[in-house]
Amino acid sequence: MFEPAIIVHGGFGKFPSESNLKKPLMEGTKAAAREGHAILARGGSAIDAVEAAVTSMEDNPLFNCGYGCTLNLNGNAQMDAIVIDGQTLNSGAVCGALGCPNPVQVARLVMEKTNHCLLSGDGVQQFMRSHGIEVVPDSQLILPERFQEWEQYVKLREEFVNGCGDSQRIASGLPPGCDTVGAVAMDASGNIAAATSTGGRTGKLPGRVGDAPIVGAGSYADSNVGGVSTTGFGESAMKVCLARRIAELLEKGVPAQESAARVLRFMHEKVGGEAGVIVLAKDGNRCHVTRHFISPNMTWAAINDGRITWGIDQGQEESASLE
């Protein structure tokens, strides 16, 4: 028997010190970890646990995934998600998904009901309908706050195109807050799974696909080694195969924290961009969980060895008995 564990992230970002978002985001991340761990505690699978944890965040409008996610340049809620089964290395993913409140659930169906790894665009909606999943209008997914953020972005972008703005103003106009969300878990059988879900960045080009649904970039899991989920600059993560590169170091026996730090430093120096990761590394019948991020903030929560641990600021780690 193995000691079950889960680690969850609610995305990286930069919050003003007085931000009133920190506490509810942290509580939402802890709630997601508890959702996943409750399944593990009942003897459930790692796949079920990461799906439940990510679904919890997709249903929470504070997070950039599912309901309340950011909008692309056309003003649509366009999402990506993935699940990976570390026992078989099977995966399922969706990208460019529209009208999809819970893309992580659809990604799992892709893994279990098809021989494909990734569905995109209109194919996602066709697949959803064929499995009795409602395709909902954007009006049911878009928050007024997200629409206002999109309007501000479009205005700044138009000023830049017309020669009376600059890229720094566009970047500063993006909302503070969280990015991609994800979870990694190990169940009592020693199986490891990972899941990641995102709405991407405000104002992304329609059809843009980030790292989240790409095996080895936004997520990776191998039950012999461990699992990874990432958040941050998707193009940078794809260029260096961020998640898989960390897993390769785990395979070589490099400790989880060192693996994460080394690869994030390599990415930042080689291609630029900021990111954060959560890592679960197998160690006999137990595991080590850790996180590392090169940004001011990343919400994370882990449940392991009967305790829940969490943080959002650099260097922050709070812990309590799991009750």
Tell me: is residue 211 an annotated ligand-binding position.
yes
Tell me: is residue 129 an annotated ligand-binding position.
no
Tell me: is residue 208 an annotated ligand-binding position.
yes
Tell me: is residue 184 an annotated ligand-binding position.
no
Q: Measured at the alpha carbon of residue 91, what is the angle toward residues 257 and 125, in degrees to the nearest 5?
A: 125
Please state, in angstroms and rounded to a whole number, the distance separating the CA atoms of residues 157 and 175.
14
Active site residue 180: yes
Tell me: is residue 173 an annotated ligand-binding position.
no
Please state, in angstroms and rounded to a whole number, the distance separating the CA atoms of residues 169 and 163.
12
Which of 188, 183, 195 has its CA nearest to residue 289? 183
Tell me: is residue 55 an annotated ligand-binding position.
no
| Tokens standing for residue 310 | 């969490």
Backbone angles phi, psi at 297, to 5 degrees: -140, 150
Tell me: is residue 147 an annotated ligand-binding position.
no
Tell me: is residue 233 an annotated ligand-binding position.
yes
- Pair 73, 86: CB distance under 8 Å: no
26, 183, 226, 317 from 301: Cα distances, Å: 8, 10, 17, 9
Which of the following is catalytic: 29, 55, 180, 202? Answer: 180
Please state, in angstroms and rounded to a whole number, the distance separating the CA atoms of residues 231 and 180.
5
- Pair 178, 25: CB distance under 8 Å: yes
β pairing state of 219-222 and 318-321? unpaired
Q: Going by C-beta distance under 8 Å and a sequence separation of 6 or more, which residues neighbour residue 58? A: 65, 66, 67, 101, 102, 103, 104, 181, 197
* Annotated binding-site ranges for substrate: 208-211, 231-234
Q: Which residues are catalytic, by number?
A: 180
* Annotated binding-site ranges: 208-211, 231-234
